[in-house]
């Protein structure tokens, strides 16, 4: 039976590289794939999945208006599909994830999703929450903290390198503004930022 997989990690763990490698492996064996990425992520160009090691591939784009099950069913009328690969899966909606469940369960096509688990505040993205709840298989890809331990959190920093504790959940681009850290150092940096903000607000006599 086909399965829905969620490969998750902190920033800079090679998620897109792993997806592109999986796509290559399928195609090398003469199998057909269909790639998807979020419309709002255009860092490598619109409809392109790009990696930090300069690998890239064209992809279909999704946003909240796209019905993934319908789009994949339409593609099946034109060609056989052996695997669906979804990048930036944290930006999926719960409805998208349910549609991908149907792709695996009703169409019999394995679906491999790659994305972040949590945002810069340590909160789950909607797509990641749905995947953690519904995926058949959860696979953690490893990133490394500056201390050498496994990095599981994504810290957003400002231009001076101070941790950012508030703001929009999604900020496209500016990868240099994110640091992958272990939980211990992530929380330490957030507390330092909170203490700094408090000191800046205190009246000076």
CATH code at 17? 3.40.50.300
Q: What is the dihedral of CA 81, 84, 85, 89, to 10 degrees?
A: 160
CA-wise closest residue to 88 among 123, 62, 54, 124: 62
Domain containing 191: what range? 4-201
Of 167, 62, 189, the closest CA to residue 115 belongs to 62
Instruction: Pick the catalytic residue from 64, 88, 146, 194.
Output: 88
CA distance 42 to 21: 20
Q: Provide the whole-model pTM.
A: 0.86
pLDDT, position 159: 80
Under the banding of pLDDT at 50, 70 and 90, the label for residue 162 is confident
pLDDT tens-place string over residues 172-189: 555 678 899 999 999 999
Structure confidence at residue 42 (pLDDT): 65
pLDDT value at residue 56: 86
Please tell me the total number of residues recorded for the chain in this structure.
Answer: 205
Rounded-to-integer distance, Cα 163 and Cα 35, Å: 34
Q: What is the DSSP letter of 78?
A: T
Q: How far apart are the first and last CA of the chain?
A: 70
- In this predicted structure, what is the pLDDT of residue 200? 58
- Average pLDDT of the segment spanning 34-54: 82
pLDDT digits (tens, 9 = 90+) for 72-90: 999 999 999 999 999 999 9
Condensed to tens digits (0 to 9), the pLDDT of residues 23-36 reads 999 999 999 999 99
> Cβ(36)–Cβ(91) under 8 Å?
no
Annotated catalytic residue 75: no
pLDDT in tens, 113-159: 999 999 988 999 999 999 999 999 999 999 899 999 999 999 998 88
For the chain, give the percent of residues with pLDDT over 70: 90
**Domain count of the fold of the chain:** 1
């Amino acid at each position: 039976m086909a399965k829905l997989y969620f490969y998750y990690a902190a920033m800079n763990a090679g998620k897109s590289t792993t997806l592109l490698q999986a796509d290559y492996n399928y195609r090398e064996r003469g199998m057909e794939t269909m790639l998807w990425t979020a419309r709002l992520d255009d860092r490598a160009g619109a409809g392109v999945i790009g990696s930090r090691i300069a690998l890239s591939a064209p992809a279909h784009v999704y946003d909240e208006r796209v019905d993934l099950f319908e789009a994949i069913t339409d593609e099946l009328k034109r060609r056989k599909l052996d695997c669906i690969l979804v990048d930036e899966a944290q930006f999926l909606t719960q409805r998208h994830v349910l549609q991908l469940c149907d792709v695996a369960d009703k169409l019999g096509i394995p679906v491999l999703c790659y994305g972040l688990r949590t945002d810069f505040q340590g909160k789950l993205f909607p797509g990641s929450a749905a995947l953690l709840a519904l995926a058949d298989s959860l696979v953690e890809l490893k990133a490394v903290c500056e201390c050498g331990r496994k990095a599981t959190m994504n810290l957003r920093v400002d231009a001076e390198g101070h941790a950012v504790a508030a703001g929009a959940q999604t900020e496209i681009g500016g990868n240099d503004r994110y640091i992958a850290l272990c939980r211990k150092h992530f929380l330490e940096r957030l507390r330092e930022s909170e203490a700094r903000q408090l000191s800046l607000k205190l009246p000076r006599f």
